[in-house]
Chains A and B, each alone.
Chain A
Amino acid sequence: MSALSRTASRTCCMSLKFIRPSSELRTNDGRSIRHVERFNGRSYSSTHVPQVPTWEPVPEDQLPPCTSIPPELVDKLERLALVDFRTKQGVACLEKAIQFADQLHVVDTCGTEPMDCVLEDRALYLRDDTVMDGNCAEQLLQLSQNTVEEYFVAPPGNIPLPKREERSAMLKHSEF
Chain B
Amino acid sequence: MLSLTIKEVSLALREGRISPTELCKKCLNRIKKMHHLNAYITVTEETALQQAQQAEDRLQRGVPKGPLDGVPFAIKDNFCTANIKTTCASNMLKDYTPPFNATVVQKLLDQGGVLVGKTNLDEFAMGSGSIDGVFGPVKNPWSFAAPYRELTGASPDSDWVITGGSSGGSAAAVASLSSFLALGSDTGGSTRNPGALCGVVALKPTYGLLSRHGLIPLVNSMDVPGIMTRCVSDAAMVLDILKGHDIRDSTTVHSPSTSAEFPEDFDVQNIRVGIPKEYHAPGLSAQAAAQWSRVADLFERAGARVEQVSLPHTQFSIVCYYVLCCAEVASNMARFDGLEYGHRSETGHSTEVLYASTRHEGFNDVVRGRILCGNYFLLKKNYEHYFLKAQRVRRLIAEDFRRVFDAGVDVLLTPTTLTDAARYHDFKSENSQARSVQEDLFTQPVNLAGLPAVCVPTALSKRGLPIGLQLIGPAFQDKKLLGVARWLEQRVGFPSISDCEDSLESQDQTGEMKREFNTAV
A contact set with B: CB distance below 8 Å: 1, 10-18, 23, 25, 27-28, 33, 35, 37, 43-46, 48-58, 77-78, 80-86, 90, 93-94, 96-98, 100-101, 103-107, 109, 112-119, 122, 124-127, 132, 136, 139-140, 142-146, 152-157, 159-162, 167, 170-171, 173-176
Contacts and interface: CB of A to CB of B under 8 A. Distances in A.
Contacts, number: 280
17 contacts: A12-B462, A18-B294, A27-B305, A46-B296, A48-B296, A49-B275, A50-B277, A77-B379, A93-B373, A97-B433, A100-B322, A115-B398, A118-B449, A119-B251, A146-B339, A155-B348, A161-B350
Interface residues of B, number: 107
* Closest 10 pairs between A and B when the two form their complex, measured CB to CB: A118-B450, A114-B391, A159-B350, A109-B392, A115-B395, A143-B341, A46-B293, A44-B293, A46-B296, A50-B280
Contacts of A155: 348-351, 353-354
Nearest to A108: B396
Contact of A104 (B379, B386, B461, B475): B386
B280 A54 contact: yes
Contacts of B449: 118
A116 B349 contact: no
Interface stretch (B49-57, B282-290, B500-508): B282-290
B376 interface: yes
A34 B287 CA distance: 20
A141 B242 CA distance: 31
Interface in B259-291: 275, 277-278, 280-284, 286-287, 289-291
Contacts of A112: 392, 395-396
A175 B477 CA distance: 49
A28 B286 CA distance: 28
B497 to A, nearest CB: 15
Majority SS at the chain B contact face: helix
A66 B466 CA distance: 39
Given A82-B355, A101-B322, A116-B221, A90 B290 contact: no
B306 interface: yes
B207 interface: yes
Contact of B395 (A54, A56, A114): A114
Given A46-B297, A140-B340, A170 B287 contact: no
B111 interface: no
Interface of B: 91, 96-97, 99, 147, 151, 207-208, 221, 245, 247, 250-254, 275, 277-278, 280-284, 286-287, 289-294, 296-297, 300-301, 305-308, 313-316, 319-320, 322-323, 326, 330, 337-341, 344-357, 359-361, 363, 365, 368-369, 371-377, 379, 386, 388-396, 398, 431, 433, 437, 449-450, 459-462, 464, 475, 493
Given A109-B392, A154-B339, A159-B350, A143 B96 contact: yes
B374 to A, nearest CB: 8
B391 A16 contact: no
B456 to A, nearest CB: 15
A103 to B, nearest CB: 5
B316 A48 contact: no
A117 B369 CA distance: 24
Given A109-B392, A114-B391, A157 B351 contact: yes
A83 B297 contact: no
A25 B300 contact: yes
Given A48-B275, A125-B254, A14 B351 contact: no
Contacts of A162: 353
B391 to A, nearest CB: 3
Contacts of B357: 170-171, 174
A176 B301 CA distance: 59
B372 A101 contact: no
Contacts of A82: 337, 352, 355-356, 359
Contacts of A153: 339
B372 A127 contact: no
A83 B372 contact: yes
Nearest to A67: B376
Contacts of B376: 77, 94, 97-98
Given A46-B297, A49-B296, 19 more contacts: A15-B464, A18-B294, A25-B301, A46-B293, A46-B294, A49-B292, A49-B293, A53-B280, A81-B374, A94-B369, A97-B369, A101-B377, A103-B316, A104-B390, A125-B254, A143-B99, A156-B350, A157-B350, A175-B361
B373 A94 contact: yes
B289 A10 contact: yes
B346 to A, nearest CB: 7
B348 to A, nearest CB: 5
Given A44-B294, A93-B431, A97-B326, A167 B372 contact: no
A63 to B, nearest CB: 11
A104 B371 contact: no
Contacts of B347: 170-171, 173-174
A122 B326 contact: no
B206 to A, nearest CB: 9
A115 B391 contact: yes
Given A57-B282, A100-B322, A94 B207 contact: no
A161 to B, nearest CB: 5
Contacts of A53: 280-284
B282 A56 contact: yes
A81 B340 contact: no
A171 to B, nearest CB: 5
Contact of B372 (A25, A77, A122, A176): A77
Given A44-B290, A107-B313, A83 B368 contact: yes
Nearest to B348: A155
Contacts of B208: 118-119, 122
Contact of B151 (A15, A37, A94): A15
A116 to B, nearest CB: 7
Contacts of A104: 316, 319-320, 323, 386, 389-390, 393
A124 B372 contact: no
B371 A83 contact: yes
A83 B374 CA distance: 12
